């Protein structure tokens, strides 16, 4: 769910490959191609025995395929958080590509906030290396508050996985997106997965404070910041989520925040994780 403050932004049938996903791509329905064998192998890696229990909710193979992430690419993961996607991306990109952890600009935050971000940047490469059983120099990290010139224009993809609401809550979405745009190549793309509010939800449920946002708002936000909307996938949709929880998306699994009653936990677990939009944007010249 990635409920975090600015400081912490940080198998084949069993995986749902049996039927092709359909995505909206530049206004047209498009049957998705078969999953890249290297990606399928990473998803099925035995080191993901625990993480894979959530694949039925997060559809990582379908999601990364929709984002057109290739194993030779340089990919930035914004706000890596607990490492669920980092562990998979490390396995997939480590052999031929590059995974870079992108941490929030904390230069205007407290000293403790800046220290926490610096610590996260420093430990990210070795953490992913340990998870992927690869050398640490296969991975790197940086903060958007100090982007080296050599990094600008070198990223093929940047992934923002369930983290945009945190940018909104901290009032840094505009500046963070602009900095991510600087990192991308001329034809680079940003993939966004985000908890999805109902189209008629009140502003109090779409401003990020509940974890949910409007699909239309995100598309407008990205277009304002120099991106073209490529398309969307319903790989992470969950129509059972009413998206109207008083305490936000964190009411649902895996957090089940504040829920102590066993029957209620069972009811929420049956609903599953949140309904999510999966959107792709290309850097505009």
List, for residues 257-280, the tens digit of each pLDDT value. 989 999 999 999 999 999 999 999
257 assigned to some structural domain: no
Three-class DSSP category at 268: helix
Q: What distance in Å separates the CA atoms of residue 230 and residue 281, rounded to the nearest whole number?
A: 5
* Mean pLDDT value across residues 247-260: 95
Question: What is the residue-averaged pLDDT of the chain?
Answer: 90
According to DSSP, the residues that pair with 136 across neighbouring strands are none
Domain around 159? 6-241+275-283
pLDDT tens by residue, 211-228: 999 999 999 999 999 999
pLDDT at residue 12, as a whole number: 32
41 assigned to some structural domain: yes
264 assigned to some structural domain: no
Q: How far is CA 12 from CA 42, 43, 87, in A?
A: 12, 9, 19
175 assigned to some structural domain: yes
pLDDT tens by residue, 178-200: 999 999 999 999 999 999 999 99
267 assigned to some structural domain: no
Categorize the per-residue pLDDT at 236 as very low, low, confident or very high, splitting at 50, 70 and 90.
very high
180 assigned to some structural domain: yes
pTM of structure:
0.89
Number of domains forming the structure of the chain: 1
Q: What distance in Å separates the CA atoms of residue 52 and residue 54, rounded to the nearest whole number?
A: 5
Q: How far is CA 180 from the centre of its chain?
A: 14
Whether pLDDT at 21 is above 60: no
CATH code of the domain in which 153 resides: 3.40.50.150
265 assigned to some structural domain: no
Three-class DSSP category at 135: coil
pLDDT tens by residue, 35-86: 999 999 999 999 999 999 999 999 999 999 999 999 999 999 999 989 999 9
pLDDT at residue 258, as a whole number: 87
Q: What distance in Å separates the CA atoms of residue 10 and residue 90, rounded to the nearest whole number?
A: 16
Residue 201 token pair: 């939800």
Residue 59 token pair: 């559809």
Poorest-confidence range of 105-109, 199-203, 223-227? 105-109
251 assigned to some structural domain: no
Whether pLDDT at 158 is above 60: yes
pLDDT tens by residue, 132-147: 999 999 999 999 999 9
pLDDT at residue 34, as a whole number: 80
């Amino acid at each position: 769910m990635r409920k975090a403050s600015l400081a912490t932004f940080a198998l084949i049938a069993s995986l749902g490959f049996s039927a092709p996903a359909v995505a909206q791509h530049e206004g047209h329905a498009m049957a998705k191609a078969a999953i890249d064998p290297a990606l399928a192998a990473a998803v099925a890696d035995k080191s993901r025995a625990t993480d894979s229990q959530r694949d039925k909710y997060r559809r990582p193979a379908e999601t990364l395929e929709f984002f057109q992430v290739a194993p030779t690419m340089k990919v930035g993961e914004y706000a890596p958080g607990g490492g669920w996607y980092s562990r998979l991306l490390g396995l997939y990109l480590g052999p031929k590509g590059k995974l870079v952890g992108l941490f929030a600009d904390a230069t205007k935050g407290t000293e403790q906030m800046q220290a926490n971000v610096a610590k996260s940047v420093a430990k990210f490469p070795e953490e992913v290396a340990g998870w992927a059983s690869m050398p640490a120099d296969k991975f790197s990290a940086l903060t958007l508050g100090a982007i080296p010139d050599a990094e600008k224009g070198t990223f093929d993809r940047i992934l923002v996985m369930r983290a945009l609401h945190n940018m909104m809550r901290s009032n840094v979405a505009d500046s963070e997106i602009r900095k991510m745009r600087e990192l991308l190549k001329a034809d680079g793309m940003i993939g966004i997965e985000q908890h999805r509010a109902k189209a008629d939800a009140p502003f109090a449920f779409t401003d990020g404070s509940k974890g949910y946002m409007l699909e239309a708002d995100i598309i407008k936000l990205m277009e304002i910041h120099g991106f073209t909307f490529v398309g969307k996938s319903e790989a992470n949709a969950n129509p059972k989520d009413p998206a109207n929880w008083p305490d936000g998306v964190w009411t649902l699994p895996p957090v089940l925040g504040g829920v102590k009653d066993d029957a209620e936990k069972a009811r929420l677990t049956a609903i599953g994780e949140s309904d999510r939009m999966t959107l792709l944007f290309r850097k505009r010249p």
